[in-house]
Amino acid sequence: MKKLILFFLALLACSVAFQACDDTKTYAEMLEEEKSAINAFIKDNDIKVISQSEFYRNDSTTDISQNEYVQLASGVYMQIVDKGSENLADTMKNNDLLLVRFVEYGLVEKDTTLTNLFDPQIVDEFRYTVTSSSIAGIFMDGYMYRKYQSSAVPAGWLVPLSYVRDMAHVKLIVPSKMGHNNAMQSVYPYYYDIRKYQIYK
């Protein structure tokens, strides 16, 4: 009987030790870390955040001299550096093939994680689809498709397309819920400098 009690006490001590060593974070903790990383990036880069109503009052533009970013309802922060073509008809339309040059920067590790700026042979390309109820993008080729093994374009990349035209340049802070599959699974935010959205003609 004494041995049995000692065995159960040892088992209890081991289970307590294992629980104390458990480094698994809850989803709420991961969201809090993501929020902290985004706020730190905004502070470190002297970003001025404006509301959607201010953004619309300013003809859907951001003042780059003030380093303005608009915080959208989706959680994405967007700066329009250049709206693109002067021709108002050069908007992104259903079934357009878009070519993209970009830099992806991880807000937690604070480093560039992916870019296609230095490879003239490969440009990321995706098919843009618009319906009455949704928008989507399907990668055809490029660095994002190859690295993350998914054809789904991050939802955050599609957000600016309602506000810009061919050859636009935007900067985005994309929370995990609007990112690629890896970002969503890891609850990991990214910053994107999308140097060019080009309609392939």
Residue 7 has pLDDT above 60, yes or no: no
What integer pLDDT is reported at residue 85 of this predicted model? 97
Q: What is the pLDDT of residue 5?
A: 54
pLDDT tens-digit series, residues 52-87 = 999 999 999 999 999 999 999 999 999 999 999 999
Please give the model's pTM, rounded to 2 decimal places: 0.87
User: What mean pLDDT value characterizes the chain?
Assistant: 91
Quote the CA–CA distance of 63 and 170 in Å, as a whole number: 12
CATH code, 24-199: 3.10.50.40
pLDDT surpassing 50 at residue 21: no
Determine the average pLDDT of the residues in 159-178: 97
pLDDT value of residue 24: 85
Res 23: pLDDT: 64
3-state helix, strand, coil in the chain (%, to 5): 35, 30, 35
Element housing 113 (H / E): strand 111-115
Q: Give pLDDT, residue 13.
A: 57
b vs e for 98-109, b when ≥16 Cβ sit within 10 Å of the residue's Cβ? bbbbbbbbbbbe
pLDDT tens digits along 115-161 = 999 999 999 999 999 998 899 999 999 999 999 999 999 999 999 99
pLDDT given at position 20 = 43
pLDDT at 25: 87
